[in-house]
Structures are given as C-alpha cells and as structure tokens.
Amino acid sequence: MPLYTTEAIILRTYKLGEVDRIVVFLTRDRGKRRGVAQGARRMRSRFGGALEPLTRVAVTYYEKESRELVSLNYAEPLNSPLWSVRADVLGYVGYFAELIDEWVPEGDHSDKLYALGSATVDALAGGTLEEYGIEATPEQAQQITQEVLAVSLYWVQSALQAILTKTDRERVLGALHDRILQSWTTGLG
C-alpha cells in the first residue's frame, strides 16, 4: 500500500454517504486519480476548502492495487481561482475543470496536460491588476481579463490538438467553441 505525496489539481467532487466525498484529481506525476476523502463533508473537516474545483493542492494519498479508488489523507490548497476578487472567474472554473476531467484518461500521465491545468489555475487566480503594478480603467481591466482567458483557451486548444485524433479534435474544438460563445452571450465572458 504505497503512500504518494504530490501536487494535484482538483477537478470534481461527488457526495459519498453522509460525510465523505469522492474526489477526482489530476496529479503532476501519476495522472488522473479518483479517491475517497473521508469526513470531507463535515463542518470541521481537515480538508477545508482544498477540495474545490480547479484548486491546486499538495495532496497525500495511498492506493491499494486491488482497489479502483485511492484514499486521500491530506490536501493543502496552494492556489485557487476561487481566491480571485473577480466575480466572472466562477463561470470559467467549472468549465475548465469539466473540460480537463472529460478529456484526460484515467491514470494517464502527461506533463503537458498538468502544466496546462496549472497555467489555467494561475491565469484564473491572477488577482487584481494593481497587485502586478498595472494601472487600468475598469474597461481596460475587463479587456485584459478577456485576453488572459482567451490565451488560456488557446492553451487548452493546443493541448487537445496534441493529444487527440483529428476526428476527436474537430468534435472537441467545435464543442469548445459553442461553449465559449454560450458563456459570452450569457454575460460570463
């Protein structure tokens, strides 16, 4: 029963029983994993806010060879778009987490995909422009935010082009394009 400690990005969680959660996470060195976080739904959980979608965490877990789910022991948040002061970020968090979860095979290790997910977390958690010494009007700040998100979408498209067949790539990029247009027309972009 090996114990692993690594950096990971939380993609999705599901309720399990009354106090536990099933967590889907993408690790830096072992690919996508599914695991049980015991007691994660309790008020005073040791996991706190670390299991929110698209949060980059330091995670410790162990796995048994005969089991599909790993057991999460510890998760400490390192960076999260939910810490951002921008309200529009919340609409993108679920979208990017779902996109990565749907297209990364279980247990498939990819440094490029992890770097892409990590860059997306950093871009969405970017904070305010003032933190970076940039003075901008609200209109300029909105323009810069949209450009950062467009670059993040470009990274996602580039990664998908590198790992998918031509038929799958056309289907995924078409769905991605439709989803982006839908989010912009509903006021999230």
pTM confidence score: 0.69
Beta bridge partners, 89, equal none
pLDDT level of residue 97 (50, 70, 90 thresholds): confident
Taking the C-alpha atoms of residue 25 and residue 81, their distance in angstroms, rounded to an integer, is 16
Q: Report, in this order, helix, strand and coil percent for the chain, each rounded to 5.
A: 45, 25, 30
In the prediction, which pLDDT does 179 show? Answer: 62
Kindly give, in sequence order, each residue whose CB lies less than 8 Å from that of residue 4, ignoring residues fewer than 6 positions away: 27, 30, 60, 61, 62, 63
pLDDT tens-place string over residues 39-69? 888 888 888 888 988 899 999 999 888 888 9
